[in-house]
């Protein structure tokens, strides 16, 4: 699975198509470029490149193991049950740190703007510590602003947190969080579906968000503008059957337009730590 996952031009949907035809996933190794074109709806150039990769590239599993990177697929017992239940679970998870955090009894996804207001910062500092002390695991994306605050509060309160990245481990984004990432990889957990050498690309972050919501029992949005990426996480959470809750804010604040809209649409408002418990 790892070998196929890292193959050129084989995205989630094409691997899914292969799996439906051949659950052993041995089929592509026996196809000619012409047969790959027909089977996977690829161009001739793409099929040729894929064939060359499958026949010449060796597995990177041992290399990753030496770097402290664990590989999980839906066929492993350690693969998180929460993720296996969503529509499009990652075929491969690259993880560094404490794998037990993937199986904690209650997880809270915390997302929000990269530029939180003082109100948003104060709210996080009031709402999260009591939950962290009760053993609630915090899931976030290690982005600037809200995510970084959430992870930092967990460290301060000696709790548990998982950071889901939108890039590979060798390209931490944002760079200013490299020290935070190192700490989380040794004392908490880093998770990504992207191979270690994958740089951050804009389209990868919305894909990352489905993993944040997928790993969470409840998704909490602290602040979000009208077009915030945090709203993507919230709506993905709803599609996955998760609880979605939001911090109400001033009608005059652009950072509360998204959260107030979520509440208007049915998300539960959060005004106290206990509002974030199931």
pLDDT in tens, the chain (278 residues): 899 999 988 888 999 988 888 999 998 899 898 988 988 889 999 999 999 998 887 778 888 988 999 999 999 999 999 999 999 999 999 999 999 999 999 999 999 999 999 999 999 999 999 999 999 999 999 999 999 999 999 999 999 999 999 999 999 999 999 999 999 999 999 999 999 999 999 999 999 999 999 999 999 999 999 989 899 999 999 999 999 999 999 999 999 999 999 999 999 999 999 999 98
Distance CA 93, CA 73 (A): 6
Query: What is the spatial distance between Cα 190 and Cα 77, in angstroms, rounded to a whole number?
Result: 19
Residue 62 pLDDT: 86
Closest by CA to 154, choosing from 140, 168, 164, is: 140
Vertex 153: Cα angle to 166 and 182 (nearest 5): 45
Q: Is 2 helix (H, G, I), strand (E, B) or coil?
A: helix
- For 81-276, CATH number? 3.40.50.450
Where in the chain are the domains?
2-59, 81-276
In this structure, the number of other CB atoms found within 10 A of the CB of residue 175 comes to 9
The per-residue pLDDT for 1 is: 87
Type and span of the H or E element at 122: helix 118-133
- pLDDT for position 31: 87
Among candidates 185, 186, 154, which has minimal Cα distance to 172?
Answer: 185
- Taking only Cα atoms into account, the Rg of the chain, rounded to an integer number of angstroms, comes to 20
CB 205 within 8 A of CB 106: no
Distance CA 205, CA 126 (A): 28
**pLDDT (0 to 100) of residue 194:** 96
């Amino acid at each position: 699975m790892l070998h196929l996952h890292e193959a050129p031009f084989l995205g989630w949907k094409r691997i899914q198509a292969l799996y439906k035809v051949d659950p052993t996933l041995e089929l592509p190794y026996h196809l000619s470029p012409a047969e790959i074109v027909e089977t996977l709806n690829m161009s001739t150039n793409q099929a040729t490149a894929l064939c060359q990769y499958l026949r010449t590239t060796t597995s990177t599993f041992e290399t990753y193991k030496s770097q402290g990177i664990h590989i999980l697929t839906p066929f492993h017992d350690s693969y998180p049950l929460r993720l296996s239940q969503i529509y499009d679970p990652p075929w491969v998870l690259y993880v560094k740190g404490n794998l037990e955090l993937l199986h904690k009894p209650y997880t809270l996804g915390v997302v929000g703007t990269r530029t939180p207001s003082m109100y948003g910062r104060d709210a996080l500092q009031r709402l999260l510590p009591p939950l962290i002390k009760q053993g609630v695991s915090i899931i976030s994306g290690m982005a600037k602003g809200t995510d970084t605050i959430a992870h930092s509060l967990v460290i301060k309160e000696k709790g548990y947190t998982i950071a889901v990245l939108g890039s590979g481990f060798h390209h931490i984004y944002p760079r200013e969080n490299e020290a935070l990432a190192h700490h989380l990889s040794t004392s908490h957990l880093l998770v990504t579906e992207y191979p270690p050498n994958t740089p951050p690309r804009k389209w990868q972050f919305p894909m990352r968000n489905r993993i944040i919501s997928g790993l969470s029992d409840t998704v909490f949005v602290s602040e979000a503008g009208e077009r915030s990426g945090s709203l993507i996480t919230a709506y993905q959470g709803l599609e996955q059957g998760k609880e979605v809750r939001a911090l109400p804010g001033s009608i005059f604040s652009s950072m509360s337009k998204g959260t107030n809209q979520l509440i208007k649409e049915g998300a539960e408002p959060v005004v106290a730590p206990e509002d974030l418990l199931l």
